[in-house]
Amino acid sequence: MKPGKSKNGGFPRTIDTVYLRITNRCNCRCLTCVNGGSEDGDPGNELTYREIAVVLDELGGLGLKHFTLWGGEPLLRKESPRVFKHAKKVGLSTTICTNGILLERLADDLVGCVDHFVVSLDAVGPLHDRLRNRKGTFDGAVSAIRAVTDRGASFVKIWTHLNRRNIGEVDRLISLADGLGIVVEFFPTHAETPDMERVVLTDGQKRKVFSRILSKKQSGAPVANSDHFLNHLIKGTTFRCSYPKTAIEINDNGDLYSCERPMGSMCRVWGNIRDHRVSELVTPERLAPFIEDMKDCNYCSIPCIFDTSWEFNHRIRG
Ligand SMILES: C[S@@+](CC[C@H](N)C(=O)[O-])C[C@H]1O[C@@H](n2cnc3c(N)ncnc32)[C@H](O)[C@@H]1O
Ligand code: SF4
Ligand code: SF4
């Protein structure tokens, strides 16, 4: 399906999701992440609440459906709860991806305006703190999960990227999710820098661990991964990335792009939402050659990219 024009000007009608990297600052320093390490650092050129509200108004009017806030650590921005409230007001479903450190103290503000809580956990206990380079992170994230579920949050998911350091944690994370009454979703760690090649899973390790996750899921474990995604990793198949057809990403400074990997050499920034309306920046004419260039890019073996692409390519989505 081509990203045809909608009746809302030229904005491609297939795009229904927006991701906002509201800050690149973070209160952790994860060994596998290129963000992090500047909790009190210079907020630089971060979008203000008002600028974000203007863009959400436009996106609501264009008919987008889903809004995700992430970063960096999105809860370092005190504006995040207001941003979610505004996103709900304009009709978007809302998701946060967070390390959970600040979540417990904000639980009252967030439950009610966040539909999906995604809390990252790399391991159970001290290994998580070591991988996140910050003591107390595991206990804080688990207390936060309890805080939001106690307040009625109905969709809470643990997100775990697996590498050679935490490959042995699968069963413990599944038991943790089970005990908390929530689900867990796994995916492989990406090598964001050449250094990380040493820790990412080999094809054989991927096959073994994701086969185990599939068989746990089939026995009733609270694993949120789709069978398609697990089989893709087990069989080492490729996929056609449709993400640029369905989602846009906005960086902390307002740069808008169509790919999950803003640092990738292929990534093109369409412009800045401070200077232009989104519908001026994202047009079928601009998207079409980018989609063609990226269709065989398989960099992101992440559920949100793979499953969206799978569903799109099988025409489950509009
Ligand atoms: C960049 S973080 C931003 C949100 C928040 N700070 C957090 O940790 O949840 C988004 C997700 O990417 C994951 N992540 C970090 N480094 C990764 C890597 N090298 N490969 C795959 N996922 C990674 C994190 O664990 C988290 O689930
Ligand atoms: S908490 Fe999230 S953004 Fe921060 S360093 Fe870790 S993975 Fe990166
Ligand atoms: S798989 Fe490639 S094209 Fe698709 S979102 Fe990831 S980096 Fe972008």
Give CA–CA dist 125/140, Å, rounded. Answer: 11
Q: Which residues are within 8 A (CB) of 40 and not within 5 positions of it... i.e. 6 or more apart?
A: none
Confidence (pTM): 0.95
pLDDT tens-digit readout, 44-91: 899 999 999 999 999 999 999 999 999 999 999 999 999 999 999 999
Using the mean position of ligand 3's atoms as its centre, give its distance from the Cα of residue 300 in Å.
6
pLDDT tens-digit readout, 185-223: 999 999 888 888 999 999 999 999 999 999 999 999 999
CB-based contact 83:89 (threshold 8 Å): no
Q: Which amino acid is at 117?
A: F
CB-based contact 279:10 (threshold 8 Å): yes
Phi then psi for residue 69, to 5 deg, are -110, 130
**Beta-strand relationship, 17-23 and 66-71:** parallel
Q: Whose CA is nearest to atom 6 of ligand 3?
A: 300
Give CA–CA dist 93/246, Å, rounded. Answer: 15
Using the mean position of ligand 2's atoms as its centre, give its distance from the Cα of residue 107 in Å.
20
Using the mean position of ligand 2's atoms as its centre, give its distance from the Cα of residue 32 in Å.
8
Q: Is the pLDDT of residue 145 over 50?
A: yes
Residue 202 confidence (pLDDT): 96
Give CA–CA dist 67/52, Å, rounded. Answer: 12
Pocket probe for ligand 1: among 73, 137, 161, 163, the residue whose CB has the most ligand atoms within 8 Å is: 161
Q: Is 261 in the pocket of ligand 3 (CB under 6 A)?
A: yes
The domains of the chain, with CATH numbers, are: 17-317 (3.20.20.70)
Q: Is the pLDDT of residue 290 over 90?
A: no
Phi then psi for residue 39, to 5 deg, are -50, -50
CA 269 to chain centre: 19
CB-based contact 173:162 (threshold 8 Å): no
